[in-house]
Chains A and B, each alone.
Chain A
């Protein structure tokens, strides 16, 4: 097998890099172990939510003041802006309108009733919910266990929102005794199901200015199911972020997948990359697991988007060392494993910021600063210098670094003869 560029990983960074490289005319192949942080995230585009635990109001401005080794500084502000603009266009074209502007953060309602700072919000999560925005009805669907209206409403009340809890009955539907967010979201994709659902939802939220619901309003038709249900309910419906798998993330993943198919990108999913082949310091191929043998994909360039420790890109060893799993890139470890994590779970964990150090062209570097392989680039959560969870920067870093890589690897313009 052969490709111009092999992108390893299908999380927010790998997907964006693959699409942008393909749009730039490169022949791309994606090799991925499985789903990434599209499925594990809050379903919004975080750029920079918190610094030192404090809420960031103006993310672009704050990003410019980050340390020089932060991925935003390496990719540059232009790449971040361009990445966000591109994302808004790409998502809208796929039926996933987003609201927001990179200059300032907004609030995203979560299932715990907290208001998390984020930058771009998918339309179903975008209607403002805040103190003073009138009565909010938090409505769960009967029998859905991954959301508690009471808990969400209690959290919102702590934030000063006039919130009450309610439950809407689900129409009869064909499901196992046990149903997940994905199954419920698929049911909501159905027109008839929504027609039967809407009256109970409207009744449960009666008297409120807006209804907050779990993020399950359709999964395979973009935002169409949400928009239709909102129209039928006659009031704004706001999807609250809940535990994985993220339905908004699944919608986005489907959009990327469709775009990659349309661009003719080959896609190997469920079989992780396990190594590389090289000639001198250039990587010449990526080795990946296949059904019964190791597959070798020859390539000119490799983009690693395997995530940090959480994403399987880096293995945290018992002795405190860290290992990058595909190309064996240098990663700075710890004196021993007790330094991996802090003593408060909700505090910070050094392992969350562990990653591969790169140069301004996103090439992994030795401790001396010189590139390890001239044709390997790293993007997203794999990069050192940031903790995507603590600072709320996962999608922004993914888009900025994917954009930068697409610029760096765009084919040279064909000379006009």
Chain B
């Protein structure tokens, strides 16, 4: 075993909450190490619809959450504008919807401090031309889109620049205790294949939907509810801003445009495990049909993939537990700091449970305020005012990647037309040591677009075979060993295919058969029935990567799916 690490605080969980805690600690001058079992954002932070909440979705039923959302919405626009697409949002009242609810909605928004603007049906349709003609009226709210990967990367960069450490692929596997104190957290280094101890004064459990498992390892009961949400990715945006149904939250009532796609959300069903992220075809149908009530052209649209995520809902011990399969929308979306000293007699661990991506900074502030008090740290929280690295780039714009590609002298050397990935980007990534198409995908978004990697996969495979240099001109050269380029390509194609049974029909079915005609027909590749080599090699089943929420969306799962059509739909 490698020598133990020593730090003041170990933060468990590499989602946005854990990272916000790490950054808050860093800004207060506290030494800390964050540990994550897979890669950053591979849990719920990477498996959601990408909505920067205005809070309006909670304005009627959960005003505490609503207030938290609008406050943080404002803060994030200030400290992380580069992660935000400022597209606004509408709540639309459809034929048959209860006008009484609209009254409650406006009143709830007012009481929660959320600005709304009432639009006539004509104004709403001017703003969103594809809205259903029968829309009665609409309310504009300051919803937006947010790229949780960019937010995670920025927070991590800031924390690391201030001396904190991030260890990915280091799942926590246990703790060392001395009486009522944890003296060290035991992690497993997945790359080195060995355990490692991290000696610490304090432990923060920020494992989100998996907080109960961390609690179990530390010997404290935390009752989490896994609230599964299914999302469907459509092959175009359909709407300019976020569109919500103005009614009591239900399945399929939100459309979030993101990059070149739209995400339809979502279900809310209690499941036994946060690792249950299987998507049934019926879920996909329901999302499409419900969202088509707001934007009818979605009904005939092209579904790229579907995925699910698990909400980190907390069930206080006093409350009625409910049973599996129930609707989890009634559980508050607010957050709770658990101090296990007073609660469970474990002196030096705090947990943060519940909450939403939009409120991750505020959650961290509340937790670190408590922790600082216990640690005797007097430095105040500065995360609401200190901008994140990259903030000077200003808000994210949809056309920015296209503009960048057009400025690039290598324009035309696009490897992936769908996602505008250039040859120079791939070459740089290969030069930096990436050897697998899957790694290129996570790094560059390669293969996420509508063609499902038909053309980029083999172009990129060629570049991997060539290595990082320009191919040499002239006389034949023996190439240095390129491993098994075809096996790598086959692995990538199979990975891209996961979960497609739920979403293959219409144009997407045609695309699948054309791609099959290329790879099996023209290139004569056949299913060699290779076992999951990634698993055999001891890697995470699939590790989600960088990119935006969309992409990773279907990506990754942690944990094995149950063998049904899984949500490993990837891009």
| Residue pair B497, A344 in contact (C-beta under 8 Å) | yes
Q: Mark B502-522, 1 if CB is under 8 A from A, else 0.
A: 101110011011111111111
| Residue pair B474, A243 in contact (C-beta under 8 Å) | no
| Residue pair A169, B473 in contact (C-beta under 8 Å) | yes
Asked if A341 meets B471 with Cβ closer than 8 Å, knowing A148-B463, A148-B466, A207-B476, the reply is no
Asked if A243 meets B518 with Cβ closer than 8 Å, knowing A204-B475, A315-B506, A338-B502, the reply is yes
Partner of B501, one of A151, A153, A343: A343
| Residue pair B522, A167 in contact (C-beta under 8 Å) | no
Which of A49, A53, A148 has most B Cβ within 10 Å?
A148
Asked if A349 meets B513 with Cβ closer than 8 Å, knowing A151-B461, A337-B281, the reply is yes
Interface residues of A in 301-349 (CB under 8 A from B): 308-310, 312, 315-318, 336-338, 340-341, 343-347, 349
Partner of B512, one of A42, A151, A206, A341: A341
Interface residues of B in 455-491 (CB under 8 A from A): 455, 458-459, 461-463, 465-467, 471-479, 482, 484-486, 489-490
Can you name the residue of chain B whose Cβ is closest to the Cβ of A205?
B476
CB distance from A249 to the nearest CB of B (A): 11
Question: What's the count of A-B pairs with C-beta under 8 Å?
Answer: 211
Partner of A114, one of B414, B476, B514, B523: B523
Q: Mark A115-151, 1 if CB is under 8 A from B, else 0.
A: 1110000000000000000000100101101111111
Interface residues of B in 98-120 (CB under 8 A from A): none
CA gap between A153 and B477 in the complex, in Å:
11
CA gap between A176 and B455 in the complex, in Å:
20
Asked if A147 meets B520 with Cβ closer than 8 Å, knowing A154-B479, A154-B482, A243-B455, the reply is no
Chain B contacts of A49 at CB under 8 A? 524
| Residue pair B521, A345 in contact (C-beta under 8 Å) | no
| Residue pair A349, B512 in contact (C-beta under 8 Å) | yes
In the complex, A396 has a CB within 8 A of chain B: no
| Residue pair B517, A140 in contact (C-beta under 8 Å) | no
| Residue pair B509, A351 in contact (C-beta under 8 Å) | yes
In the complex, B435 has a CB within 8 A of chain A: no
Asked if A345 meets B462 with Cβ closer than 8 Å, knowing A164-B478, A176-B412, A309-B509, the reply is no
In the complex, A111 has a CB within 8 A of chain B: yes
CA gap between A308 and B510 in the complex, in Å:
9
Which of A40, A112, A178 has most B Cβ within 10 Å?
A112
Chain B contacts of A167 at CB under 8 A? 471-474
Can you name the residue of chain A whose Cβ is closest to the Cβ of B478?
A164
CB distance from B472 to the nearest CB of A (A): 6
Chain A contacts of B223 at CB under 8 A? none
| Residue pair B522, A346 in contact (C-beta under 8 Å) | no
| Residue pair B413, A310 in contact (C-beta under 8 Å) | no
CB distance from A32 to the nearest CB of B (A): 16
CB distance from B45 to the nearest CB of A (A): 28
Can you name the residue of chain B whose Cβ is closest to the Cβ of A337?
B505
CB distance from B531 to the nearest CB of A (A): 12
CB distance from A273 to the nearest CB of B (A): 17
In the complex, B2 has a CB within 8 A of chain A: no
Partner of A150, one of B465, B505, B509, B565: B465
Can you name the residue of chain B whose Cβ is closest to the Cβ of A46?
B521
| Residue pair B412, A41 in contact (C-beta under 8 Å) | no
CA gap between A378 and B282 in the complex, in Å:
35
In the complex, B311 has a CB within 8 A of chain A: no
Q: Mark A25-51, 1 if CB is under 8 A from B, else 0.
A: 000000000000100111000000110
In the complex, A352 has a CB within 8 A of chain B: yes
In the complex, B47 has a CB within 8 A of chain A: no
In the complex, B243 has a CB within 8 A of chain A: no
In the complex, A389 has a CB within 8 A of chain B: yes
Q: How many residues of chain A have a CB within 8 Å of chain B?
A: 77
Interface residues of B in 259-282 (CB under 8 A from A): 281
Chain A contacts of B474 at CB under 8 A? 166-167, 200, 203-204
Chain B contacts of A243 at CB under 8 A? 454-455, 458, 518, 522
Can you name the residue of chain B whose Cβ is closest to the Cβ of A53?
B526
Interface residues of A in 375-417 (CB under 8 A from B): 388-390, 392, 394
Q: Mark A169-194, 1 if CB is under 8 A from B, else 0.
A: 10000001111000000000000000
In the complex, B285 has a CB within 8 A of chain A: yes
Can you name the residue of chain B whose Cβ is closest to the Cβ of A349?
B516
In the complex, A208 has a CB within 8 A of chain B: yes
Can you name the residue of chain A whose Cβ is closest to the Cβ of B280?
A338
| Residue pair A40, B517 in contact (C-beta under 8 Å) | yes
Which of B482, B484, B493, B528 has most A Cβ within 10 Å?
B482
| Residue pair B510, A148 in contact (C-beta under 8 Å) | no
Can you name the residue of chain A whose Cβ is closest to the Cβ of B515?
A345
| Residue pair A164, B477 in contact (C-beta under 8 Å) | yes
Can you name the residue of chain A whose Cβ is closest to the Cβ of B414?
A178
Which of B465, B476, B517 has most A Cβ within 10 Å?
B476
Which of A206, A207, A317, A344 has most B Cβ within 10 Å?
A344
In the complex, B423 has a CB within 8 A of chain A: yes
CB distance from B15 to the nearest CB of A (A): 30
CA gap between A113 and B486 in the complex, in Å:
9
CA gap between A203 and B477 in the complex, in Å:
12
Residues of A within 8 A of B (CB): 37, 40-42, 49-50, 53, 110-117, 137, 140, 142-143, 145-151, 153-155, 158, 164-169, 176-179, 200, 203-208, 241-244, 308-310, 312, 315-318, 336-338, 340-341, 343-347, 349, 351-352, 388-390, 392, 394
Can you report 20 residue pairs joining A to B where beta carbons are below 8 Å apart? A112-B523, A116-B524, A145-B459, A148-B463, A151-B465, A154-B482, A154-B486, A164-B478, A166-B475, A167-B474, A169-B473, A309-B510, A316-B506, A317-B506, A336-B281, A340-B501, A344-B529, A345-B519, A352-B513, A389-B513
| A49-B524, A148-B465, A316-B505 given; 8 more Cβ-contact pairs under 8 Å | A111-B458, A112-B458, A150-B482, A154-B482, A165-B479, A167-B472, A318-B288, A349-B512
Pick the 10 closest A-B CB pairs, nearest first.
Answer: A148-B462, A178-B412, A177-B412, A345-B497, A116-B524, A310-B513, A164-B476, A346-B527, A150-B465, A316-B509
